[in-house]
Structure formats: C-alpha cells, structure tokens
Amino acid sequence: MNIVEKIWKTNIKNQLILVLSIFAAVGMFQLGIRNSLPQLVISVTTAIGLDSLIIYKKLKKPFFSTSALISGLIIALALPPGIAWHIPLSAASIAIFSKHTIHIRGRHNFNPANFGLLLSMFIFGTYLAWWGATNTWLVLLLGTLITYRFKRIHLVLSFFITQSILLGTYFVLKGEPFLNSILMINLFFIFVMLIEPKTSPIHRKGRIIYGVLTGAFSSVLIATIPTLDPSVVALALSNLLVPVINSKVKE
Amino acid sequence: MKKSTLLIVAGILLITLLLYGCTRKEHGQEMKPVAEQESAMTEYAEEVELKEREKRVSESDEEYSGNKVNGVREIKIEARQFAFEPVTIVVKKGERVRLIAKSLDVTHGLGIEAYNIDQKLPPGQEKFIEFTAVKSGKFHFHCSVYCGTGHGKMHGTLIVKE
C-alpha cells in the first residue's frame, strides 16, 4: 500500500488534522513562524489539556482527544497571527467548556471551535483573520477532498447555492455583479467548520436544510452588518436550530 | 460534570477575564488632517511663515514609505479584494506615523496586532490612523473585516527600522 492509499484509509479525523496542519504550515511560511506558531501552540495545548483533564475526571483513565486537537487548530488558524496569548487560551477554553456543558438530548449543541471564536469576538473585540486560508486554491482542493471523505458534499453545496443566490440577488439590486456573491464564500469555514458531524443534523435532509439556513443567515449578516464576521455567527444560529431539525426532519 | 472540573474551568475563564481588563485593545484613532493655524501677523511675518512652511512640507526619505509632513510620516494605504497597496510599509523607530487608509470596494479593516490597531474601512472613506512606532521589527497587518474568499491572504508587513 503506498502512502496515498495509507492516508486515504486512515481515520477521518486524522485526515482532517493532516489537512489543517498543511494549512497551518502554508500560513506560517507566508506570515512567519514567530507570528503564528505561539497561538497554535497555546490554542492546541489548551484544548487538548483541558479536554483530556475533563475526560480523565469522567473515565478515570488517560485519553488523548483528537477532537480537541482539531478545535485548537481551527481556533489558531482563524484568530489573527500575533494576537495576545490570553485570547487563543480563552477561545480554546470556552470551546472545550461548551463541548462538555451545553448539551441538548445527549449531544453537545455548538461547534466547539466556532463557539470559542464567537465568544472571543464579543468578549475581547477581536477580529478573525482566517489565515488558515492564505492559499485559496489549496483550501478548495483539500477542503473538497475532506468534505467528500466526511460525506458532506451536499451540506456544503446547499450552503454555497443559498448564499450565492441570496447574496447575488442583493448585489444585483445594489447595481453590482451577481458573481460577487461567489467571492464572499468563506472556503475554510464551509470545508472545515460547517461539516462538523457532531453538531450538524443527523439525517441528510436535515443537513441540507441546515446548509440552507446557515447560508441564509450568513447572507443576511453580510448584507446588514458587514463589520461582523458572518460565518461564526451564522453557524451558531444554525447550531441552535439543530435539535429542532433533528426532531422534525427524518430520512 | 463534576464540581472540581467546573471550578477549574471557571477559574481559567475568570483569570482570562481579569487579564482582558488589563490588556483591553484600543482602536486606532481617527485623525483629522493637520489644521491650519491662524495668527494675526504682520505682512512681513506672514511671508516668513509661508517660506518656512514650504520647507517643512513633503520631505521624503527614499528608505522609508510615504512622506514626512510636519514631523509625521504620512503613508497612503489602499485596501481592495484581496490585497493592500502598498503591501510593505517601512518606518523608522520612534517616528509618529499617520496611515491614510481607504477601501476601494467592500468594507475592509486594517488590523495591526502589535500596535493594538483595528480600524474599519467602509468603502470610499479615508480613515486616519496615527501611532508612534515604538517597537522595532517586522509586524504583520491583516484585513480585520471579513471581505470574501481571499480575506485570509489579505495581509501586509510593517517594518520598523532602528
């Protein structure tokens, strides 16, 4: 079995970790290690440390959390490089804390990384640089592959189509080209955060509705509050509706 | 969830909030252009004043970006999807710097973490950001308002030379 086959057959979370690590490496190369590595270290170690501690308290045995590693990576890749240390630390803490405390019907409700980023925006007034997407084409390629592996192409497409149509219509009414709406898609967000399996609906139809709702929320936010990051707010709103979607929409 | 774990997590959050109170970000100050001074002078004094003013305006150093105007380094910076122009800004340590920033298309933002600057740039409006380059080194600035697919690659470098 060659290396590509080995990677393809490996655990899906490990593949996502590999993809995020590639994004981080490319970003660090462009922005400099000194600017970007500290927050990666802080975010990842905080997330893993806290999650492992909480799980150890529950299970009474050591546990390495790959989910926490993913959350830590996402948080670090979204926050601006060079940010004060307490912000990635707080965002990662909030993410893990929300994962273990905010539950509806036995499932944690909010995408942990998204929740951590959202609260950081409001508490610290920080902005999101999304430097994990310094290379658009790389994100498009690897993002599509990972979305395919997660079997969430339909979710990404439903978001993409909804936002493109709604925002495109808005732009046309403003006298701007329809295709400008395509330029507003946050590729890192849709390929990495939107597809998160535990906080998105269980059934396929539900996930399509979820993608449509997130795309709609995002479009409204871009049109009305352009200074607010639309992706994290839209996803949090959609996460709130997941229990309703799960109860109403069955396969 | 056990009480002790809850206490640990709450403790971390509390410490962070306390630290936030000590390190709150100040947004970039909007500045108006240098105001002209009015003075009651004699004709002769007015002539001298005019000659002095012509000497001070538009000193430019080739090594550094922009122009020096009355002791302040003024640099024009434009933001568009998805790049800043210029992408590199070079200033001298200790200088007072005035960035005249403008967005050419959608709402952007100019964020310089090292100097606690986060200025929103609505389309077509000039915003003035003043700061003193107290720290030498290479710092990155980023677009601080989500502006589209290429937002993640919209960054530049501020070089503060000794």
pLDDT digits (tens, 9 = 90+) for A50-87: 999 999 998 898 888 899 999 999 999 999 999 999 99
Q: What pLDDT, on the 0 to 100 scale, is given for residue B129?
A: 96
Partners of B68 in the beta sheet?
A: B59, B73
Q: Which sign, positive or negative, has the C-alpha torsion A239, A240, A246, A249?
A: negative
In a domain, A205, yes or no: yes
Q: What pLDDT, on the 0 to 100 scale, is given for residue A140?
A: 95
**Of the ranges B24-38, B73-87, B136-150, which one carries the lowest mean pLDDT score?**
B24-38
pLDDT of A49 higher than 60: yes
Return the higher-pLDDT residue of A7 and A208.
Answer: A208
Residue A239 neighbours by CB under 8 Å, 6+ apart: A109, A110, A111, A114, A115, A199
In a domain, A141, yes or no: no
Distance CA A17, CA A241 (A): 28
Q: Do B113 and A136 touch (CB under 8 A)?
A: no
Percentage above 90 pLDDT, chain B: 60
Rounded to the nearest 5°, which phi and psi values hold at B68? -90, 125
What confidence tier does A39 reach under pLDDT thresholds 50, 70, 90? very high
In a domain, A147, yes or no: no
pLDDT of B18 higher than 50: no
In a domain, A143, yes or no: no
Q: Which of residues 46-105 of A touch B (CB under 8 A)?
A: 50, 53-54, 57-58, 80-84, 86, 89-90, 93-94, 96-97, 100-101
What is the Cα B49 distance to its own chain's centre?
A: 31
Domain final residue, candidates A131, A162, A193: A131
Tell me: do A162 and A206 sit in the same domain: yes
Tell me: do A126 and A204 sit in the same domain: no
Domain final residue, candidates A131, A161, A188: A131
Q: What pLDDT, on the 0 to 100 scale, is given for residue B23?
A: 41
What confidence tier does B28 reach under pLDDT thresholds 50, 70, 90? very low
Distance CA B67, CA A138 (A): 39
| Look-up of token digits 């396929």 | A204
**Of the ranges A116-125, A169-178, B36-45, which one carries the lowest mean pLDDT score?**
B36-45
Tell me: do A213 and A110 sit in the same domain: no
Q: What pLDDT, on the 0 to 100 scale, is given for residue A205?
A: 96
Its pTM stands at: 0.83
> Where on the phi/psi map is residue B141: left (φ > 0), alpha (ψ -120 to 50), or beta?
beta
List CB contacts (< 8 A) between A94 and chain B.
13
pLDDT of A10 higher than 90: no
Tell me: do A121 and A162 sit in the same domain: no
Partners of B77 in the beta sheet?
A: B101
User: How many other CB atoms sit within 10 Å of the CB of residue B117?
Assistant: 22
- The pair of three-digit structure tokens given for residue A88, joined into one six-digit string: 């990635």
Question: What average pLDDT does range B52-80 have in this prediction?
Answer: 79
Structural domain of A125: 3-131
Tell me: do A9 and A127 sit in the same domain: yes
pLDDT of B122 higher than 80: yes
Tell me: do A8 and A103 sit in the same domain: yes
Tell me: do A111 and A183 sit in the same domain: no
pLDDT of B32 higher than 50: no
Question: What average pLDDT does range B18-30 have in this prediction?
Answer: 42
Residue B123 at interface with chain A, using a CB cutoff of 8 Å: no
Tell me: do A159 and A95 sit in the same domain: no
Instruction: Pick the closest to residue A46 from A110, A93, A84, A80 (CA basis).
Output: A93
Q: Which of B9, B20, B155 sits opposite A31 (nearest CB)?
A: B155
Distance CA A28, CA B136 (A): 21
Tell me: do A93 and A178 sit in the same domain: no
What confidence tier does B5 reach under pLDDT thresholds 50, 70, 90? low
Which ipTM was obtained for this model?
A: 0.89
- Crossing angle of helices A86-101 and B3-22, in 10° steps, is 150
Average pLDDT of chain A to the nearest whole number: 93
Question: What average pLDDT does range B104-108 have in this prediction?
Answer: 94
In a domain, A139, yes or no: no
Domains of chain B in sequence order = 65-162 (2.60.40.420)
Contact A74, A113 (CB under 8 A): yes
Tell me: do A32 and A78 sit in the same domain: yes
Strand B96-103 to B72-80 pairing: parallel
In a domain, A38, yes or no: yes
Tell me: do A91 and A18 sit in the same domain: yes
What is the Cα A212 distance to its own chain's centre?
A: 16
Q: What pLDDT, on the 0 to 100 scale, is given for residue A108?
A: 82
Residue A133 at interface with chain B, using a CB cutoff of 8 Å: yes
| Look-up of token digits 């007034």 | A125
Q: What pLDDT, on the 0 to 100 scale, is given for residue A77?
A: 97
| Total domains present in chain A | 2
CB burial string B123-162: b at 16+ within 10 A, e below: eeeebbbebebeeeeebbbbbbbbbbbbbbbbbbbbbbee
In a domain, A138, yes or no: no
In a domain, A191, yes or no: yes
What confidence tier does B58 reach under pLDDT thresholds 50, 70, 90? very low
For residue A191, what is the DSSP state? I
User: How many other CB atoms sit within 10 Å of the CB of residue A236?
Assistant: 19
